[in-house]
């Protein structure tokens, strides 16, 4: 009998070897996760990059794709799991742990061709019923996002609607169209509207490459600066004055 046709306990399921695509365990049922296709994979990658680009420098959260999470009597693998910075589990060495046994703060699912939308709706509802603060269902083909929150009706978002994640990522700015049509809209700036001084400090110090120094100890000049200085010397040699002086050509080179 196939594994997906058997009724297993959570402990029995967790003893199974990992497969590709991974198996998920919800409400006592084992189901195979749908392998992401091109549009699904690019959207998942891009969404993770937007969140991490905003949240990691500020130490707000981390977005992890295809992460097994075990909590609430289930073991799902959301397309994207977002954990607040201080909720990411670590091992004794202080590195990110392999096993996550707490619900994500944000769980994100992306539909694939032929995948049951109703099953994904139930899955997103399961996330918020078992500890997630926000769940998102993204449909790249019909171009909408459905947002789930505990104790509230799901909210359907389209076009210029903002995807509100402030409960976990305060100040993060992203609209549905910027997420689903990045090539036809201005590049989304997730830091817009937020005070983001930490990355600015990084650029002013550690983010700046060390300046090269010449033999004299002074900072070396760029090729453009040296070329500009050479041109000025040639002009003065030809009888042209310095900037701001008389333009009469008979003044000659300044002695």
**Domain harbouring 181, CATH code:** 3.90.1570.10
Residues 139 and 249 occupy one common structural domain: no
Residue 250 in this model has a pLDDT that exceeds 80: no
Mean pLDDT, residues 229-247 taken together:
59
Domain that holds residue 252: 221-255
Residue 189 in this model has a pLDDT that exceeds 70: no
Is residue 45 domain-resident?
A: yes
Residue 244 in this model has a pLDDT that exceeds 90: no
SS3 string of 25-57? EECCEEEECCCCCHHHHHHHHHHHHHHHHHHCC
Structure-model confidence comparison of residues 5 and 74, the more confident one: 74
Is residue 208 domain-resident?
A: no
Residue 3: pLDDT band (50, 70, 90) is low
Q: Which residues contact 208 (CB under 8 A, 6 or more apart)?
A: none
Residues 190 and 225 occupy one common structural domain: no
DSSP reduced 3-state for 172: coil
Structure-model confidence comparison of residues 98 and 2, the more confident one: 98
Residues 178 and 244 occupy one common structural domain: no
Residues 251 and 184 occupy one common structural domain: no
Give the containing element (helix H, strand E) for 136: strand 134-139
Residue 206 in this model has a pLDDT that exceeds 50: no
Residue 156 in this model has a pLDDT that exceeds 70: yes
Residues 137 and 235 occupy one common structural domain: no
Is residue 240 domain-resident?
A: yes
Tokens of 150: 């505990």
Tell me the C-alpha distance between 247 and 245, whole Å.
6
Give the containing element (helix H, strand E) for 157: strand 155-157
Residues 105 and 145 occupy one common structural domain: yes
Residues 226 and 193 occupy one common structural domain: no
Residues 34 and 127 occupy one common structural domain: yes
Query: What pTM, to 2 d.p., does this model score?
Result: 0.71
Residue 194 in this model has a pLDDT that exceeds 50: no
The neighbouring-strand residues paired with 81 are 64, 107
Residues 243 and 153 occupy one common structural domain: no
Do 115 and 87 form a contact (C-beta atoms < 8 A)?
no
């Amino acid at each position: 009998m196939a594994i997906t046709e058997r009724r297993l306990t959570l402990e029995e399921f967790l003893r199974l070897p990992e497969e590709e695509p991974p198996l998920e365990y919800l409400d006592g049922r084992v189901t195979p996760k749908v392998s992401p296709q091109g549009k699904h994979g690019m959207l998942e990658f891009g969404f993770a990059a937007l969140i991490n680009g905003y949240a990691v420098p500020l130490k707000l959260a981390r977005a992890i794709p295809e992460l097994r999470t075990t909590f609430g009597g289930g073991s799902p693998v959301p397309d994207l799991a977002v954990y607040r910075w201080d909720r990411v589990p670590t091992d004794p060495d202080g590195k990110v742990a392999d096993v996550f046994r707490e619900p994500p703060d944000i769980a994100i699912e992306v539909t694939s061709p032929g995948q049951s939308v109703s099953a994904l709706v139930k899955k997103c509802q399961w996330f918020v019923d078992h500890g997630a603060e926000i769940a998102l269902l993204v449909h790249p083909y019909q171009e909408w996002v459905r947002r789930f929150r505990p104790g509230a009706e799901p909210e359907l978002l389209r076009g210029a609607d903002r995807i509100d994640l402030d409960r976990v990522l305060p100040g993060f700015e992203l609209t549905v169209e910027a997420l689903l049509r990045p090539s036809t809209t201005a590049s989304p700036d997730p830091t817009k509207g937020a005070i983001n001084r930490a990355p600015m400090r990084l650029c002013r110090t550690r983010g700046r490459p060390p300046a090269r120094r010449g033999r004299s100890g002074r900072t070396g000049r760029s090729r453009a600066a040296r070329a500009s200085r050479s041109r000025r010397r040639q002009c003065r040699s030809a009888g042209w004055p310095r900037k701001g002086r008389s333009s009469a050509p008979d003044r000659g080179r300044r002695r």
